[in-house]
Amino acid sequence: MSNTPIRGVKSSYSSGDGGQCIEWAPDHAEVTGEFLVRDSKDPHGPHLSLTRAGFAGLVTFAKSNG
C-alpha cells in the first residue's frame, strides 16, 4: 500500500450518537478491489481488509441488525 492517505467515508449504517461509527474507503476499493473498513473514531488506526464478498456480507449484516 502507498503512503497516500486513504479517504474514509462514514457508513450510512453508523449510529448518529457517535458510538458505533465505521468508515470504508470506496476510492481504494475501486482501484484495488480491497475493501478497507475502520473505526471512524480512530482514523489512523488499523483497517480491516475485506474482499468484495466479505464487504457485501458486512453490509447485509448491518442492514439486518440496524
pLDDT of 66 reads: 62
13-16 long-range contacts (CB < 8 A, ≥24 apart) are 13/59, 13/62, 13/63, 13/66, 14/40
- Average pLDDT, consecutive stretches of 10 residues, N- to C-terminus, the chain (66 residues): 67 60 90 92 88 93 80
pLDDT of 42 reads: 84
Are 24 and 11 a contacting pair, CB within 8 Å? yes
pLDDT of 19 reads: 60
Are 55 and 24 a contacting pair, CB within 8 Å? yes
Residues 6+ apart with CB under 8 A from 34: 28, 49, 50, 51
pLDDT of 8 reads: 79
